[in-house]
Amino acid sequence: MASRLITRSTAAVLLSHLRSRTPNPTHHLLTHGAAMSSLLGPTHGLPATARSRPLLEPTRWFSSPAPVVEAPRTVDGLTVDSIADKGWTILAEAESDWRSHAAAVAQSIRLIKKRLKWKWLLERSKQLAVVLEKPDLWEDPVFAGNVSREQGELMGKIKSVNQFEQQLMEHIDMLRLAREEGDNELETESMRALADMRRDAKEKELNALLSGDNDVYPCFIEVQAGAGGVESMDRAAMVMNMYRSWAQRRGYRVTIIEEIPGELAGIKVCLFYFFHHFTPLNPVSSPLNA
């Protein structure tokens, strides 16, 4: 728009310039190099024992740098932890208060990290990165595949949280810049983005609950009509469709193992198989379990 003082692209350039001048620039996730990237497989999980058992590798393999994650920062050095520690009042979502939104998102990120066992996650990723650098890794394809799949899952979680933190810092910087420049439109957009992040953070909190040892595994759900005749069978079909629609909207894959239709309408019995992207599609015996 012609009346706008600065465009979003101009604001992004200004922020980039400001960050380059600060002593504590924003850091992104640093991976373990191209070699590791080429080995990362699909983000499937491993059996609980494989994920929880530490890798006891000889010291000679700890010669390469491991993945490093440094907290994203605003131009003036704010981080998620420093925002959460400030004790800013968290108001209702409808209130246009950027500190309130930022504090709510920061608290959510802290909770997400706690549920994901963040320190363990980073340490485990470092161990796996070292193993993936072994020159003879693929002499045992089963072991190598399991290690690369687990590393892919861990790196996916780390990158997701890191990018969410980075997004928060950028919105805060953008809003502050808009206020300094008197750009009401950009300020409104940035405020709306923070409010959207706040709602998204709640969804991520829920997803972070699925971080237990058994949460990577699939499950079976059976719907039975029971007594009640045609009306009961019709209701069972509705429940079946509700479960299937809910799962598909949230990224689950659904397979119908068995379905017995009713004589006139609906179903008598339906057995589902549910699994997510982090579920092992073909679990195999792994040397990690030995």
pLDDT tens digits for range 207-219: 787 766 677 678 8
Digit-coded pLDDT (tens) for 89-140: 999 888 889 999 999 999 999 999 998 889 999 999 999 999 999 999 899 9
pLDDT of residue 127: 92
- Per cent of the chain over pLDDT 90 is 40
In a 3-state reduction of DSSP, which class is residue 276? coil
Q: Is the pLDDT of residue 18 over 70?
A: no
Range of lowest pLDDT (23-32, 34-43, 138-147, 279-288): 34-43
pLDDT of residue 2: 39
- CATH 3.30.70.1660 matches 219-289: yes
Query: What is the overall mean pLDDT for the chain?
Result: 76
Which homologous superfamily does the CATH classification assign to the domain defined by 8-208?
A: Release factor (1.20.58.410)
Question: pLDDT band at residue 165, thresholds of 50, 70 and 90?
Answer: very high
Domain extents for the chain? 8-208, 219-289
Query: Under a CB-based contact definition with an 8 Å cutoff, are residues 201 and 108 in contact?
Result: yes
pLDDT tens string 194-208: 999 999 998 888 878
CA distances from 289 to 59, 95, 139, 182, 185 (A): 21, 51, 18, 60, 56
226, pLDDT greater than 50: yes
Say how far apart CA 267 and CA 243 lie, in whole Å. Answer: 14
Report residue 276 as tokens: 């997510």
**Rounded percentage of the chain residues whose pLDDT exceeds 70:** 69
CA–CA dist 265, 236 (Å, integer): 10
25 touches 169 (CB < 8 A): no
Helix then strand count (H, E) for the chain reads: 9, 3
pTM, full prediction: 0.60
User: In 3-state terms, what secondary structure has residue 15?
Assistant: helix
The reported pLDDT for the residue numbered 254 is 86
More confident residue, 90 or 286: 90
DSSP states of 66-134: PPB------TT---HHHHHHTT-----TTS--HHHHHHHHHHHHHHHHHHHTHHHHHHHHHHHHHHHT-
Q: What is the pLDDT of residue 205?
A: 86
Residue 268 vs residues 64, 65, 142, 226, 257: alpha-carbon distances, Å: 59, 58, 42, 7, 14
Other Cβ atoms closer than 10 A to 212: 9
